[in-house]
Amino acid sequence: MYSGGLRLYLTAMRTLAVLFISLSACAGVADNADVIGQERLFEVWLQEQMAYRGLPGVVVGVVSDQDLVWAKGFGFADVESKTPMTPATKFRMASHSKLFTATAIMQLRDVGKLRLDDPVEKYLPWFRMEPAESDDAPVTIEELVTHSSGLPREAGPHWSAQEFPDADGVRKYVMEHKAAYSPGVRWKYSNLAFGIAGMLVEAVSGEKWADYAQKHIFDPLGMTSSSFDRKVDGLATGYGRRMPDGSRQRWKFVDARALGSATGLTSTVEDMAKFVSLQFRKGKPGGSQILSTGALREMHRVRVLESNWTRGNAIGFAVSRDNGKVYVGHGGSYFGYKTQTFIQLDDKVGVIVLTNGDDSQPSVIATRLMQTVGEAVGRAAATPAKTVPWDPAWSRFAGLYRSPESDTEVVELNHKLVLFDPQNPGPDAPINLTPLGGGRFRYEGPTGGAPVGEVVWFQEQNGKVVRMYTGDSYTERVN
């Protein structure tokens, strides 16, 4: 057994070693020549875009796993005073707020205080909006946070009047209005739904929404510059769209009040990077791991698709697909602020774009940032996959296998085995057999209908291959 002093010393050394490895990995990615080159390319493009379009300011950040590897400000946080943009500049994050509300819902679910399939009225008895159809089922919590509740988009004319409702105003609106659709019928964006989700968090936790977010999300993640609906120092000035004469309206601060859980967040690139890094972690809840691995996976999985199947919603997160890759994230639009975050979970890369101009088009900027710096970061951080070297003896597994239902042909292609059904119109989409060692292979396919991910192995008798097992099923060797 170690003495108390030695135990503390060893613990400190292990902590320093982990920190050193993390910093070394971050430095390695940030110093990669391809990453640096893509940063320069993106910077030149963005600076010219800002000049052509007369944009006030932009801050960008790129996250690799647990590290913010690049962050930079462009233009001005306040044009009149020439205050420069920096990674520490604060922005109204608008609908990014929904990610934090969904996080709170999942935290309460994980500790057993609610279920996603619970009706909202179980916790908010006043929630009795007239349904779209007389026989509609009650709206559930999951439907609130996946934009499938069918509720109206807003809770009144607050975007026009720049005056948001308080809790009583939301309750009054609910009692006086009718749902646009039945729950679960289609994807329909709703700020009202997430305002109600925030009120539900308050009812279940016994804490005010802003206090809950501070205690259970911001503090554990170290998001020291984030808050809900506070007029804080260091906040960028929000500007309207550029008018034909080149002028821009200077927006005032607008409190989102009871819709704060839908659109009231203030944060920075540096703080948002910590939230992005959470999405890549695994582990049991505790400390900065504010959600379990299972809860994070649930939040990222598509629950509802738009009717044209071009995009969808997970729990809180918007989900999109581009060039064969799936991204989760969110955008935001508030008075003078436009924001966008894209997260590529497989590569563990995230990009954050925060702007203070209503016509900044941050989704376009974020897309270009991901395509340049983000993809370079993904390449630099990638670790070579562990592979089992080809064994020439595996050539004996090639051949035709048959069952009463179908035939399967196993073919050797340039030191790898593939299989396909010879009755198919063509052999252009064979299944890969990835070596695991010991004559065992993993069935790798593009879709989930087949036994993807399961083990394939070959039975031999008297030195001859007689049978192929795929998962739990088998076929007999023909030749």
The 10s digit of each residue's pLDDT in 172-207 is 999 999 999 999 999 999 999 999 999 999 999 999
| Confidence (pLDDT) at 291 | 98
What are the boundaries of each domain within the chain?
1-31, 33-381, 392-477
| Confidence (pLDDT) at 25 | 52
Least confident window among 107-111, 308-312, 412-416:
308-312
| Confidence (pLDDT) at 56 | 98
Under CATH, what is the fold of the domain 33-381? Beta-lactamase (3.40.710)
| Confidence (pLDDT) at 428 | 79
Instruction: Please list the residues that pair with 64 across neighbouring strands.
Output: 67, 349
| Confidence (pLDDT) at 13 | 44
Residue-wise pLDDT for 129-172, tens only, equals: 999 999 999 999 999 999 999 999 999 999 999 999 999 999 99
| Confidence (pLDDT) at 307 | 85
CA atoms within 13 A on the CB side of 342: 24
17 pLDDT higher than 50: no
6 pLDDT higher than 50: no
Residue-wise pLDDT for 445-454, tens only, equals: 888 888 999 9
pLDDT band, very low/low/confident/very high, at 272 (cuts 50, 70, 90)? very high
Is there a contact between 201 and 217 (Cβ–Cβ < 8 Å)? no
pLDDT (average), residues 410-415 = 95
pLDDT band, very low/low/confident/very high, at 26 (cuts 50, 70, 90)? low
State the pTM of this model.
0.89
455 pLDDT higher than 50: yes
| Confidence (pLDDT) at 362 | 98
How much of the chain exceeds pLDDT 90, in percent? 89
| Confidence (pLDDT) at 14 | 43
pLDDT (average), residues 451-476 = 96
Mean pLDDT score of the chain: 94
101 pLDDT higher than 70: yes
pLDDT (average), residues 296-312 = 92
pLDDT (average), residues 324-339 = 97
Under CATH, what is the fold of the domain 392-477? Lipocalin (2.40.128)
